[in-house]
């Protein structure tokens, strides 16, 4: 792991879990594996240096004497006491923590903070299209308080459903639209659209996940542009897969463009000066207390605009991962 003695581990005090994300990402980026070993405490872990208030709070929540043996000395004992089903669940899938098996880790997307812009009725700017859940953006600001995806999916889902039903009742069935003529075919050797999708997934994992840099964004956009110059072959994968991959490519372009525009760190967006750096730039208030809106402009070009959010007049909720 990357926890070197004397390393200036970065990150704002409010979001210390990013230190682990960055460390894991840096290792996997180099092609190495990161695993959790539940058989012993991490080397160098000095529990005496941990904030006693944190221990007390945790012991209180779980009603377990976590600072006493065996919990103090064994991550597996702690895990079994707190979440025994997870140990059984992993064993059923071939990872036996009790036998000393290691649990491999990798960064993954838990929630997309942005999304389709909606109004208070969950309506998008496309008439008749409503969005709710994770696909709808702008409800959480730069970060999502733990558990708030429920608000996305249930509260906004109810609103979206109600709005869509009201609109449907008030509308006449639309006449079918003529199909738009297909775009001019790209040139060059066709590439299997499944390969296109894998390439986009990989480039987004590398350029737009934990570590974002100007160089990574530039290279990612260039890779996307290169893919777009070749015809995408959907003979095996089918038209639906092709259409979805076109949308994925568009979203990837939008995300990379937004990542490159916000030259600070905020919430889960961590922006670094170089690919080698392990310390994200700090957040830059008041310049970047803004959110970004992307749309298609003249001749299909992406237009990006920074807007000021409505300032809440209630206390801001602290982020808790979840
Ligand atoms: C590991 C992990 C842990 C999480 N933990 C928490 C947590 O503790 N608390 C919390 O609040 N949130 C958590 N989240 C986030 C939360 O689970 C999601 O934000 C939420 O489930 C999103 O719900 P959704 O209905 O918007 O989207 P989804 O659940 O993604 O539903 C979209 C559905 O659309 C379907 N679909 C896609 N394309 C098509 C198509 N073309 N035609 C028809 N159907 C289609 C998909 O199959 C899917 O069923 C977690 C997420 C992850 C990944």
Indicate the angle between helix axes 239-261 and 214-228, nearest 10 degrees: 150
d(CA 5, CA 8): 9
Do 90 and 122 share a domain, yes or no?
A: no
Mutate to test the pocket of ligand 1, among 111, 114, 137, 154 (most ligand atoms within 8 A of CB): 111
One-character DSSP codes across 136-149: EESSSTTS--TTTH
Q: Which residue has the tokens 């939008």?
A: 254
Nearest ligand 1 atom to alpha carbon 244: 41
The residue whose CA is least distant from atom 17 of ligand 1 is 149
Residue 293 forms beta bridges with which residues? 305
Distance 269 CA to ligand 1 centre (A): 20
What's the pLDDT at 311? 77
In a domain, 281, yes or no: yes
Range of the structural domain that residue 238 is part of: 191-307
Query: In this predicted structure, what is the pLDDT of residue 234?
Result: 97
Q: Which residues contact 50 (CB under 8 A, 6 or more apart)?
A: none
Residue nearest ligand 1's atom 8 by CA = 322
Nearest alpha carbon, ligand 1 atom 37:
244
Same domain, 97 and 120: no
The answer to whether position 259 is within a domain reads yes
Nearest 5°: the CA angle 135, 137, 141 is 140
Give the position, in ligand 1's atom list, of the atom nearest the Cα of 135. Answer: 26
Same domain, 94 and 126: no
Residue 178 lies in a domain: no
Atom 52, ligand 1: residue with shortest CA distance: 110
Number of domains in the chain: 3
Cβ atoms of 36 and 48 within 8 Å: the answer is no
| DSSP code of residue 44 | T
Q: Does 286 reside within a domain?
A: yes
Q: What angle do CA 257, 263, 265 make, to 5 degrees?
A: 110
Q: What is the pLDDT along the chain (322 residues), one digit of tens a residue?
A: 334 444 444 444 445 678 889 999 999 999 999 999 999 998 887 777 778 887 777 777 677 777 788 888 899 998 998 899 999 999 999 999 999 999 999 888 888 889 999 999 999 999 999 999 999 987 888 888 878 888 789 999 999 999 999 999 999 988 888 877 666 667 789 999 999 999 999 999 999 999 999 999 999 999 999 999 999 999 999 999 999 999 999 999 999 999 999 999 998 999 999 999 999 999 999 999 999 999 999 888 899 999 998 877 777 655 544 4
- 153 Cα: distance to centroid of ligand 1 (angstroms): 9
Per the document, the length of the chain is 322
Its sign, for the CA torsion 234, 238, 240, 244, is negative
Ligand 1 pocket test: pick from 153, 197, 241 the residue with the most ligand atoms within 8 Å of its Cβ. 153
Residues within a 6 A CB radius of ligand 1: 110-111, 133-135, 147-150, 152-153, 322
Backbone angles phi, psi at 93, to 5 degrees: -105, 20
**Contact present, 319 and 145 (Cβ < 8 Å):** yes
Residues 92 and 129 in one domain: no
Q: Is the residue at 217 inside a domain? A: yes
Take atom 26 of ligand 1 and give the residue whose Cα is closest: 133
DSSP state of 269: B
Asked whether the CA dihedral 99, 105, 111, 115 is positive or negative, the reply is: negative
Residue 62 lies in a domain: yes
pLDDT of residue 216: 97
Angle at 154 between CA 210 and CA 119, to 5 degrees: 80
What is the spatial distance between Cα 305 and Cα 92, in angstroms, rounded to a whole number? 50
CATH of the domain at 259: 1.20.58.100
The pLDDT value given to residue 49: 78
CA distance 201 to 25: 15
In a domain, residue 30? The reply is no
277's tokens: 């750096």
The b/e string for 197-214 (b: 16+ C-beta within 10 A; e otherwise) is bebbeebbbbbbbbbbbe
Point out the domain boundary residue: 101, 125, 141.
101
Predicted confidence at residue 68, as pLDDT, reads 80
The pLDDT value recorded for residue 183 is 64
Which numbered atom of ligand 1 lies nearest the CA of 149? Answer: 11
The answer on 124 and 44 residing in a single domain is no
The confidence score (pLDDT) of residue 43 equals 85
Per the DSSP assignment, residues forming a β-bridge with 126 are none
Query: Both ends of the chain: CA-CA distance in Å?
Result: 24
- 195 and 303 in a single domain? The answer is yes
Claim to verify: residue 82 and residue 46 sit in the same structural domain: yes
Question: Cα–Cα distance between 82 and 76 in angstroms, integer?
Answer: 10
Q: What pLDDT is stored for residue 82 in this prediction?
A: 86
Do 265 and 198 fall into the same domain? yes
What pLDDT sits at residue 318?
55
**Backbone angles phi and psi of 33, in degrees to 5:** -105, 145
Domain check: are 97 and 126 in the same one?
no
Asked if 196 and 302 sit in the same domain, the reply is: yes
Residue 184 inside a domain? The answer is no
């Amino acid at each position: 792991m990357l926890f070197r003695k004397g390393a200036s581990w970065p990150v704002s005090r409010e979001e210390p879990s990013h230190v682990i994300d960055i460390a894991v990402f840096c290792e996997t980026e180099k092609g190495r594996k990161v695993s959790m070993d539940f058989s012993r405490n991490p080397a160098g872990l000095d529990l005496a240096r941990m904030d006693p208030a944190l221990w007390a709070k945790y012991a209180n929540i779980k009603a377990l004497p976590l600072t006493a043996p065996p919990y103090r000395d064994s991550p597996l004992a702690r895990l079994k006491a707190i979440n025994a089903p997870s140990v059984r669940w992993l064993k059923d899938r071939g990872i036996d923590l009790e036998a000393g098996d290691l649990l491999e880790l990798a960064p993954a997307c838990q929630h997309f903070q942005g999304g389709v812009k909606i109004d208070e009725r969950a309506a998008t700017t496309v008439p008749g299209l409503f969005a709710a859940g994770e696909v709808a953006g702008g409800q959480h600001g730069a970060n999502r308080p733990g558990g708030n995806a429920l608000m996305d999916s249930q509260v906004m889902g109810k609103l979206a459903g109600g709005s869509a039903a009201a609109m449907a009742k008030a509308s006449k069935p639309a006449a079918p639209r003529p199909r738009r003529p297909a775009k001019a075919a790209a040139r060059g050797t066709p590439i299997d659209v499944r390969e296109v999708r894998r390439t986009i997934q990989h480039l987004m994992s590398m350029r737009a996940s934990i570590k974002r840099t100007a160089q990574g964004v530039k290279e990612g956009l260039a890779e996307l542009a290169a893919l777009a110059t070749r015809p995408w072959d959907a003979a095996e994968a089918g038209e639906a897969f092709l259409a979805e991959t076109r949308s994925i490519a568009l979203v990837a372009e939008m995300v990379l463009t937004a990542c490159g525009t916000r030259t600070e760190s905020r919430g889960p967006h961590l922006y670094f000066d170089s690919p080698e750096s392990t310390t994200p730039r700090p957040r830059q208030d008041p310049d970047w207390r803004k959110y970004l809106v992307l749309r298609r402009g003249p001749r299909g070009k992406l237009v990006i605009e920074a807007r000021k959010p409505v300032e809440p007049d209630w206390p801001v909720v602290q982020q808790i991962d979840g």
